[in-house]
Amino acid sequence: MQVFNSLTRKLEAFTPGNGRKVIMYVCGLTPYDSAHIGHARTYVAFDMVKRFLKKEGYEVYHIQNITDVEDKIIRRCRETGADPKKLTEEIHSEALEMFDALNILRADAYPKVTEHIADIMGMVKALLDKGFAYETATGVYFDVSKSKGYGALSGQDLDEIKAGSRKEVDETKGDPADFALWKKTSGEIIEFDSPWGRGRPGWHIECSAMSFKFAGATLDIHGGARDLIFPHHENEIAQSEAATGQKFCRYWMHTGFLTVEGEKMSKSLGNFITLRQSLSQFSPNALRMFYLQAHYRSPLDYDEDALVAAGESVERIFNSLGLIREIEEGRMSADDEGFRSESDSLAGEFYAAMESDFDTPRALAALFSLLRLANAHLEKDAVDSHQLDKVRQELEAMVWILGLKEGEGGLAEKAEGLRKLASEFGIRESEPGKIVERLIAMREELRKKKEFQKADEIRARLKEAGVVLEDKAGVGRAGPRRKVK
């Protein structure tokens, strides 16, 4: 398996530090405002990574911090008069509920900054003792000049970083590029006692200290959105490796930017979309599929038409699975070497794509090719029951890896309408999948007889029941869908 490492900017063979155990740290929310669709994109991506690793036999220990001490939280509490503890707990709880709806597996640990102040102060002290940090009247700062290789992750050299810094912001710092480990405050909404006086930790040291507390010196995977590369992740590397003397992370992974109509999300532009707003319009499956249709490192533009199409694609997956599961008992069975070879090959293509830096677009292409192959095989008089069962298991495993959740509008939910159709057309069946198969067969017979008006009537009636037929090369294919309102 290969993973693209943001630090080296190349694909690398994935080799965790402890055999089949993977330690993954993903930067969590700063819960001062509702989670948005950009957050969801990142967490769906790392959920997919986690699911694939687990399916491949790895044990994944997943840490996702809660940044409940941060300048944005303080500003929001000043503006609204909210209690910071209550505000952050309510917002994070709401976000977790929506992540649950998206079928995102929960992390093994959600450490909060407020519960690890002692650990943070311990790392700050270690950096001071080792000469990597210094104290001023305004706080404790990390001396960037003493960090070898600083800027490697972001691709910037130290002179560029210094040129982009504004020394006038804090004249007490030794260098404009130096960053705060501890900020001294007096009477602030959020502050703590420390050896350096009252204050609060800097943003970057929080993740380093909590990562060390829960995972030790070295992570296997550190993930987050691309906009965290600098300064956050760059500074994490500098201070963590200075404190421990060891490599901080083996593989850095970052998700691409999510835009809305080509623009970065911003409340001032009126294009800021919360996760709750999106889920009020589209199903969780539609949102997950929309994200996964793009490679996790690629930029992605939020598109409502594409979301509708993504939801319909998921419906086709689950309804085709339903047809495979409902193979008529007693139906003639025969080994089909061609079907076996081609379906095994397509399943292999899915896993080969996932093993190449989690290439979900290519994996999805293999999955849909396998569905089309299975649908075509189901139309034969004799089917390879053994291989169809194997295909079903493969598809169910793929669906689990992608995190798609069955039961959001499959054939079972269309059962009543399909049974009415069966009665109208004289079909003595009650199972939805069998009714669809019989109606498809009837339509094909009518088309062969060139009775196209009657054939079109069946197609139209199926569409009313939520089942769309896609004609390919003269053959009717079942592709049920649910309309997204």
Instruction: Summarize pLDDT for 212-244 with one digit per residue, the tens.
Output: 999 999 999 999 999 999 999 999 999 999 999
* CB-based contact 292:41 (threshold 8 Å): no
Where is the domain boundary, 355, 385, 402?
A: 402
pLDDT exceeds cutoff 80 at 170: no
* Same structural domain, 384 and 453: no
147 domain-assigned: yes
Counted domains in the chain: 3
* Same structural domain, 160 and 251: yes
pLDDT exceeds cutoff 80 at 265: yes
Q: Report CA torsion sign: 337, 339, 340, 342.
A: positive
At residue 417, the pLDDT reads 79
pLDDT exceeds cutoff 80 at 410: no
Q: Which of 8, 37, 1 is nearest to 22 (CA)?
A: 1
Residue 363, CB half-sphere, CA atoms under 13 Å: how many?
Answer: 26
At residue 467, the pLDDT reads 74
What are the φ and ψ backbone dihedral angles of 317, each rounded to 5 degrees? Answer: -60, -50
Where is the domain boundary, 281, 315, 334?
A: 281
* Same structural domain, 147 and 36: yes
- What CATH number corresponds to the domain at position 346? 1.20.120.640
239 domain-assigned: yes
pLDDT exceeds cutoff 80 at 412: no
pLDDT exceeds cutoff 80 at 432: no
pLDDT exceeds cutoff 50 at 477: no
Where is the domain boundary, 358, 380, 402?
A: 402
373 domain-assigned: yes
pLDDT exceeds cutoff 60 at 474: no
The model's pLDDT over 180-212, given as tens digits with 9 standing for 90+, comes to 999 999 999 999 999 999 999 999 999 999 999
* Same structural domain, 315 and 380: yes
Give me the chain's average pLDDT, please: 91
Q: Residue 425 belongs to what domain range?
A: 411-480
> What is the DSSP annotation of 219-253?
EEEEEEEGGGIIIIIHHHHHHHHHHHSS--EEEEE
> Which range (9-18, 131-140, 324-333) has the least confidence?
324-333
pLDDT exceeds cutoff 90 at 342: yes
pLDDT exceeds cutoff 60 at 483: no
* Same structural domain, 277 and 356: no
Percent of the chain with pLDDT over 70: 92
* CB-based contact 104:43 (threshold 8 Å): yes
* Same structural domain, 270 and 344: no
Counting every residue, how long is the chain?
Answer: 485
* Same structural domain, 325 and 247: no
* Same structural domain, 57 and 139: yes
159 domain-assigned: yes
* CB-based contact 324:387 (threshold 8 Å): no
At residue 461, the pLDDT reads 86
pLDDT exceeds cutoff 60 at 167: no
pLDDT exceeds cutoff 70 at 479: no
At residue 460, the pLDDT reads 85
* Same structural domain, 80 and 166: yes
Residue of 171 and 450 predicted with greater confidence: 450
Residue of 207 and 406 predicted with greater confidence: 207
289 domain-assigned: no
At residue 360, the pLDDT reads 98
* Same structural domain, 216 and 361: no
* Same structural domain, 340 and 439: no
H/E stretch holding 26 reads strand 21-26
294 domain-assigned: no
At residue 469, the pLDDT reads 66
Residue of 407 and 48 predicted with greater confidence: 48
Mean pLDDT confidence for 387-407 = 95
H/E stretch holding 62 reads strand 59-64
Residue of 397 and 264 predicted with greater confidence: 397
* Same structural domain, 353 and 429: no
286 domain-assigned: no
293 domain-assigned: no
